[in-house]
Amino acid sequence: MLNRSRRTRGIAATIAVLALGLTACSTGSDGKATSTSTAGGGQGGTIKVGFSQLGAESGWRTANTESVKASLTAENGIDLTFSDAQQKQENQIKALRDFIDQGVDVIAFSPVVETGWDEVLQEIKDAEIPVVLVDRTVDTLVVDPYVTWIGADFEAEGITAGEWVVENHPDAKIFELQGTLGSGAQVDRETGFDATVGADHIVGKASGNFTRAEGKAAMEAALQAYPDMNLLFAHNDDMGLGAIEAIEAAGKVPGKDIIIVTVDGVRDGLQALVDKKFNYVVECNPVFGDQILDAIKKVHSGAQLPRTTIVFDQAFDQTITQADVDARLY
Ligand code: AHR
């Protein structure tokens, strides 16, 4: 039953953990569910898990999917059904309903946006299937919609980016390239950044939906609309990389004429930092499949878990070296 008086949002920080290690494997994402095993649900110690990934929109997402698949293996006692929603909420809702029909033991998912989950979360709850929420947050009227959430502190990432801007470019005229509108990553990065730099420094905003192509298109339009803009805050590396193409095509120098601050720290983003095209990158670590595995096992066994687990992030400026980039795992 829905409690209309209270919304739950997975965001409070209680524990910091550092996600380590990445074993490469192919994502094989085609928008369809793929099962790594044909074993029966929950038998012989195997935990049957349905994982709904929101898409494959960015380098971060690809690394996150690889980490999840490297950890949720038959060797680790998991019978995984993995589904890629291609950034469409209706695909995710369908996948979650399929998991209910399959009678999985645990559902894990990374929600593409925060709202619109009430009905399906209630159905999962009625089916008594525990939920491990991954990466992004939900805003729902369902009481106790998930057992535990593992992800980054997006608001802190926005604040870190904003503090660097205030310290290094206090008079900047900022264009903000937002991620998927209504996603936890967009809402919270924007909240943290805007509060830190001050709204009067932001000359314009547009969404690039966390993709390189849409980031480029949004930047092309912004260069026309806001000719006095001299600093870009992009909510992820991919949009920032797309923006570089637009800036160069307009005859400007990324990293000089337009200072670029991004979030993620994937290898391509850090390479742009070494190449002096990006100026500052706040990390969002995607490699936490081992924490997800641990949470799923504990949830399945009925062990106590923290309500939230925050994945540790750092930040990089142009002092990063080529050797650091070459050593990057994703
Ligand atoms: O939710 C995490 C964000 O999603 C990453 O910063 C972005 O690259 C991805 O699309």
Q: Give the CA distances from residue 1 to residues 7, 77, 111, 158, in Å, rounded to whole numbers and listed in that order.
A: 13, 33, 21, 35
The candidate with the shortest Cα–Cα distance to 109, out of 98, 101, 201, 38, is 98
Centroid of ligand 1 to alpha carbon of 61 (angstroms)? 6
Q: How many CA atoms lie within 13 A of 97 on its CB side?
A: 10
Determine contact, residues 51/82, Cβ cutoff 8 Å: yes
Does the beta carbon of 236 sit less than 6 angstroms from any atom of ligand 1? yes
Whole-number Å distance between alpha carbons of 190 and 194? 6
Q: Which atom of ligand 1 is nearest to the CA of 135?
A: 1
Pairing between β-strand 231-234 and β-strand 148-151 as defined by DSSP bridges:
unpaired
**Ligand 1 mutation pick, 62, 236, 330, max ligand atoms within 8 A of CB:** 236
In the three-class reduction of DSSP (H, G, I as helix; E, B as strand; rest coil), residue 74 is classed as coil
Centroid of ligand 1 to alpha carbon of 248 (angstroms)? 25
CATH architecture of 18-152+285-311: 3-Layer(aba) Sandwich (3.40)
**Opening angle at CA 236, ends 12 and 322, nearest 5:** 115
pLDDT at 45: 87
Q: Which atom of ligand 1 is nearest to the CA of 60?
A: 8
Q: CB atoms < 10 A from the CB of 253, how many?
A: 11
Both tokens of 128, joined, read: 């008594």
Does the beta carbon of 169 sit less than 6 angstroms from any atom of ligand 1? no
Residue spans of alpha helices (H) in 210-275 = 212-225, 237-249, 267-274
Domain ranges in the chain are: 18-152+285-311, 154-284+318-326
Q: Do the domains spanning 18-152+285-311 and 154-284+318-326 agree at the CATH topology level?
A: yes
pLDDT at 11: 37
Both tokens of 113, joined, read: 């946006």
Q: Which atom of ligand 1 is nearest to the CA of 59?
A: 8
Q: Which atom of ligand 1 is nearest to the CA of 238?
A: 8
Low-confidence stretches of the chain (pLDDT < 50) are: 1-7, 10-43
Does the beta carbon of 313 sit less than 6 angstroms from any atom of ligand 1? no
Fold designation for 154-284+318-326: Rossmann fold (3.40.50)
Centroid of ligand 1 to alpha carbon of 40 (angstroms)? 33
